[in-house]
Amino acid sequence: MVITGVLLIIGGFLVYNALPGFLADTFLYPSEQPFPKTPVDYGYNYKDVEFPAADGIVLSGWLLNEQAEKVIIMTHFGYAANRFGYQTKYFRIVKPYDKEIEFVKVAGRLVEAGYAVLMYDLRNHGISGKTEKGVGTGGTEESRDVLGAVKFIANYEATKGKPVGLLSYCMGANATTIAFGMDAESFKESNVKALVAMQPLTNSLYLKTLNLPGNIYNKTAKRFTEVSGYDFHAPVIQNVSSINVPTLLCQSRKDPNTNMDFINDFFNAISTAKEMYWLEEPTNRFDGYNWFYDNPEKMLAWFDKHVE
């Protein structure tokens, strides 16, 4: 009994001290995943491109169907993903989802509807450049990547002057929102016409849905801030009112890993034309990332209406 008690004490000590570091590092350090396919494997022509983020970090991407008259910029959800998507086999401890996410399939729906599509790796993801610390920041630094992508499309010879739409997922939606707060005028100057934001959510609110003890959460948040230099709760809501294009906000109603108050606050803070699109069927947050492949109608209707 004494030995069992000692082991329980040791186990509790390890959990209390090691778990916050593990959790924080999950947010801080993106997993490395290769690209098993390129757009050509799905039947879509593309070009490899590179361009600088607003602060000079070199980003790598694919530009599909560049001769189309309208352009969509896709920004992925970070952490476990890159421009290709998410591959379950690279999660050996905790797998939040058991299906592959292939963003090229969503891009294909846009290409078939007559759009060019820029897909790119956020900083510290895929084969884009790394920052000095090499960490994810929940959308705060990644906002500079969105600004860089928008400027690239506005100045690239094949897409210059064409109307642009933004399709931004989760942390990518955070980054896009913060980018509007940083420099809303650049979106106007770059002919950005519309935004589709899929399930924005901060690191802090996601972690709270796991119902961890408060001390574990607090230590995780503290480590994140100490390493990254940024607040664990990214400044998303504060920047929503700067969005200056019609916005379709998308959210799975049964998503167990979101905060509905945050979603409602986000929607209410949008000061331009807007619509709330509730996904009624999915029961896993990650289902939303595949949604527009099987159900592209709402996305296409929004872009067709506003990107002109």
Percent of the chain with pLDDT over 70: 93
User: Can you give the pLDDT of all 308 residues of the chain as single tens digits?
Assistant: 433 332 233 334 344 479 999 999 989 998 778 899 999 999 999 999 999 999 999 999 999 999 999 999 999 998 878 999 988 877 655 667 778 899 999 999 999 999 999 999 999 999 999 999 999 999 999 999 999 999 999 999 999 999 999 999 999 999 999 999 999 999 999 999 999 999 999 999 999 999 999 999 999 999 999 999 999 999 999 999 999 999 999 999 999 999 999 999 999 999 999 999 999 999 999 999 999 999 999 999 999 999 99
pLDDT of residue 7: 29
The structure's pTM equals 0.93
> Whole-angstrom Cα distance, residue 243 to residue 132?
29
Helix (H, G, I), strand (E, B) or coil at 30: coil
Phi, psi of 178 (to 5 degrees): -65, -35
Where are any strands of DSSP class E within the chain? 46-52, 58-64, 70-75, 85-86, 101-102, 115-120, 164-169, 192-198, 247-252, 274-279
pLDDT digit string, tens, across residues 256-287 = 999 999 999 999 999 999 999 999 999 999 99
Which residue in 281, 49, 46, 296 sits closest to 196, CA to CA? 296
For residues 233 and 205, is the Cβ–Cβ distance under 8 A?
yes
Tokens of 111: 């290409």
Domains of the chain by range and CATH? 40-216+232-306 (3.40.50.1820)
pLDDT digit string, tens, across residues 178-216 = 999 999 999 999 999 999 999 999 999 999 999 999 999
Pairing mode, strands 274-279 and 46-52: unpaired
For residues 122 and 81, is the Cβ–Cβ distance under 8 A?
no
For residues 227 and 135, is the Cβ–Cβ distance under 8 A?
yes
